[in-house]
Structure 1
Amino acid sequence: MRVSLKDVAAHAGVSIKTVSNVVNDYQHVTPAMRARVQRSIDALGYRPNLTARHLRKGRTGIIALALPELGNPYFAELAAAVIDSAAEHDYIVLLDHTGGRREQELLVSQGFRARVIDGLILSPIELETEDLRDRAENVPLVLLGERAYDLPCDHIAIDNVAAARAAVRHLVAVGCREVAFLGARRGRSEPAQLRVRGWREELAAAGLAADDGLVAATDGWGHADGEAAMIRLLDSGRRPDAVFAYNDPMAIGAMRVLHARGVRVPEDIAVVGFDDVVEGRFGAVSLTSVSPDKAAIGRLAVESVLARLGGGAVEPRRIRAGYRLAVRESTLGRAGEGRGGPVTGTDG
């Protein structure tokens, strides 16, 4: 049988109200009383009824998380960070996959699950400001990603321009002078535009040319896209001494082509990715990558939803999460050859 508050109270020799105060972390409980009740909770194996607790507050205990690409390891790791953070607040996460399609993003943002969720964390690709401004539902909305929206909601992202500049600065520091960019996605894509901008700005700051002939546009950002972009670049006759890829899957695809063609990484071409996903750390050549603080992004997103539910954080906030440059073998060999040693990374 399920252990109740009444059972714990009887075991501890206190009132049910006292047990409730301890379970709900009411601050005006003496340390001695809290310890006494906690011993009974542990002895009986009491577990609070979270559903009932949320319902008493008029809530469901569910936060929705809508992401564009669950097959992308970055979004999978980000989802894990959100789920872990939500669990710390006794919330569960309802995961939606939008595929980056406008119709699905509209469906999610307009509240088709509003009756079963307390808040929505959304990473949009195709939605416009007007789409989100006209939301019919009033559940708290927190945005992730780099698209800019003029909306009364919290928006969490890293500084993509600064992060891209850090990646290119590292490549220049280890001796690279012709840095290609893979993943300038065809059509609108603000993250890609921001990273290309950072690439251009840092090359200019180093007195180097930002050669458009070294920019490879793609339709997607997967392994195959990186592979195809690298093939096109090499077949064009261009031979950069470094590649900065939009993300890690593209960088890994590019490295596969370089290996197949006998091009050494990093001795002939250094490679840097973006997102620092797990698979990049375990290849034959581990990948240097811009590492967003995914744990912080997940925590900030959940805390932003809960702050809105609690009536706090009334003014919308643009929240910058941190990042660092995780330097590994795909560039480290060049740095180890009398060029100033490895770079430990820069926090955003």
Structure 2
Amino acid sequence: MPPGLKDVAARAGVSIKTVSNVVNGYVHVAPETRARVQEAIDALGYVPNPAARRLRGGLSGVIALAVPDLRSPYFAELAGHVVAAAAPRGWTVLIDQTDGRGDRELDLVAGLHRHAIDGIILSPVATPAAELTSRHGVPSVLLGERNSRGPVDHVAIDSVAAAADATRHLLGLGRRRIAVIGAPDRPTAVTRQHRLAGYRTALADAGIAARAGFAVPVGGLHRADGAEAMARLLDTGARPDAVFCCTDLLALGAIRTLLERDIDVPGDVAVIGFDNIDAARYSMPTLSTIDPHNERIAQIAVDLLGERLGERPATAPPPREIRVEHRVIARESTLGRPPRRR
């Protein structure tokens, strides 16, 4: 059994009430007593029970959002949508990033649930959902692609189907030598595994064999990674006539390399990305992409969390899997520029 208030009180030589006062941040505790209790909490690894705290004091009106990388426009825009969806409920959103590392995901969740938050929206990368959510009693909603159902509500698009649709868009334009930038470089890159699978499915359905060397792995998902991956592909002597990139940032980097080498986009190589970030509408050329409906994902996640917070455990439904529809947005990077009007 995990340590409780009684264990901390015994180690610190104080009453259970004093430990409760320290845990709940009451100011009328002597500094030396507070320090002794905190030492006992740290030594025992005591974690306050947030469910019990909510029963005693009601909801705090604060939720948390944990995402892999706030430098990514996709996650920055997602965070903005979550804040906007939470505002009508009067909720404050605490936002932090995990860097996509398993240890960081576990540490962050452990740290978040010590605070008086009502629920967590998570976008895990490296840690199984069951391991994350089993460590705290806070209602949670998971975002992003996963390989199996988990113990809590989950909202995501079908990345396999979306990647297949992106590849079919290129096929529909008569492209046949289609490469993919963003192939997974590690087993935990589940999202990229799904998008690679979708790419391969579309090629197979069209009777086109996947070419050796046309699936280019990346170590990151930013513009520099896309530019470097495109350069590596071209340096092998490969000459694709189209590229599906697993994120918009990878696509923007890939286009930069193509243009630097005097390869016309989309005349010589058509490029499509994934995420429909705001920058995709203003790049030169504008970027064709998959729109995952980020705003809808955020709204559904907040709504699911709100339902959990308003339900009693005995009547709560089982974990729900929500699939959000996607769409292909065709722009200049695959269609070319429209003719100028005189």
**Is the partner of 1:183 in helix, strand or coil?**
strand
Superposition map of 1:271-290 within 5 A: 271-290=271-290
1:68 corresponds to: 68
Are 1:314 and 2:317 an aligned pair? yes
- Percent identity, aligned pairs only, is 46
In 2: Cα distance, 1:243 partner to 1:249 partner: 13
The residue number in structure 1 matching 2:44 is none
SS of the residue aligned with 1:305? Answer: helix
Give TM-score scaled by structure 1 length.
0.77
Taking the aligned partners of 1:219 and 1:148, their CA distance within structure 2 comes to 21
Return the alpha-carbon distance in structure 2 between the equivalents of residues 163 and 313 of structure 1.
31
Q: Does 1:329 align with 2:332?
A: yes
**Residue number in structure 1 paired with 2:48:** none
1:44 is matched with none
| Cα distance in 2 between the residues matched to 1:133 and 1:299 | 21
Contact preservation (8 Å) 2:64, 2:112: no
Give the Cα–Cα distance (whole angstroms) in 1 for the partners of residues 299 and 106 of structure 2. 25
Cα distance between partner residues in 2 of 1:313 and 1:206: 45
Three-state SS of the structure 2 residue aligned to 1:117 is coil
Alpha-carbon spacing, 1:133–1:120, altered in 2? closer, same or farther (3 Å): closer
Q: Which runs of 5+ in 2 are unaligned?
A: 1-53
Q: CA deviation at 1:313?
A: 4.8
Find the counterpart in structure 2 of residue 4 from structure 1: none
- Provide the residue aligned with 1:147 in structure 2: 146
Q: Secondary structure at the match of 2:115?
A: helix
Could you tell me how far 1:149 is from its partner in structure 2? 4.6
- TM-superposed CA distance for 1:323, in Å, is 1.1
What is aligned with 1:31? none
Q: Determine if contact 1:133/1:151 at 8 Å carries over to the other structure.
A: no
1:168 is displaced (CA, Å) by 0.6
| Matched residue, 1:16 | none
Q: CA deviation at 1:130?
A: 4.7
TM alignment of 1:1-348, pairs within 5 A: 58-110=58-110, 112-132=112-132, 134-135=134-135, 137-188=136-187, 189-311=189-311, 313-333=316-336
SS of the residue corresponding to residue 316 of structure 1 reads coil
Asked whether the 8 Å contact 2:113–2:138 carries over to 1, the reply is no
Shift of residue 113, structure 1, vs aligned partner: 3.5
SS at match of 2:185: coil
* Pairwise CA distance, 1:78: 0.5
Please say if residues 154 and 304 of structure 1, whose CA atoms lie closer than 8 Å, have aligned partners that are also in contact: yes
How many residues get paired? 282
Runs of 4+ in 1 over 6 A off after TM superposition: 54-57
In the alignment, the residues of structure 1 paired with residue 150 and residue 225 of structure 2 have an alpha-carbon distance, to the nearest angstrom, of 33
- Paired residue for 1:24? none
User: 2:318, 2:111 → 1: CA distance?
Assistant: 22
Structure 2 residue identity aligned to 1:151:
G
- 1:182–1:229 CA contact under 8 A, matched in 2: yes
Asked whether the 8 Å contact 2:142–2:154 carries over to 1, the reply is: yes
Q: CA deviation at 1:128?
A: 2.1
CA distance in 2, matches of 1:200, 1:77: 29
- 1:17 is aligned to none
Give the aligned residue type for 2:132.
L
After superposition, give the CA deviation of every residue in 1:167-208 in whole Å (9 maximum; x if it has no partner): 011100011001000011211211111111100110111111
Residue 114 of structure 1: how far off its partner (Å)? 3.9
Q: Amino acid of the residue matched to residue 118 of structure 2?
A: D
Structure 1 gaps, min length 5: 1-53, 338-348
Residues 121, 143 of structure 2: 8 Å contact kept: yes
Q: CA deviation at 1:221?
A: 1.0
Instruction: Single out whichever of 100-109 and 251-260 deviates more from structure 2.
Output: 100-109
Change (3 A) 1:130 1:158: closer
* CA–CA separation in structure 2 for the residues paired with 1:187 and 1:263: 31
Q: Quick one: structure 1 residues 100 and 209, their matched pair in 2 at CA, closer, same or farther if it must change by over 3 Å?
A: same
Q: Distance in 2 between matches of 1:191 and 1:242?
A: 21
SS of 1:213's partner is coil
Contact 1:114–1:139, Cα closer than 8 Å, also in 2: no
Whichever residue aligns with residue 220 of structure 2, its letter is G
In the alignment, the residues of structure 1 paired with residue 57 and residue 242 of structure 2 have an alpha-carbon distance, to the nearest angstrom, of: 55
Structure 1 CA distance for aligned equivalents of residues 254 and 123 of structure 2? 27
SS at match of 1:116: coil
Contact preservation (8 Å) 1:185, 1:220: no
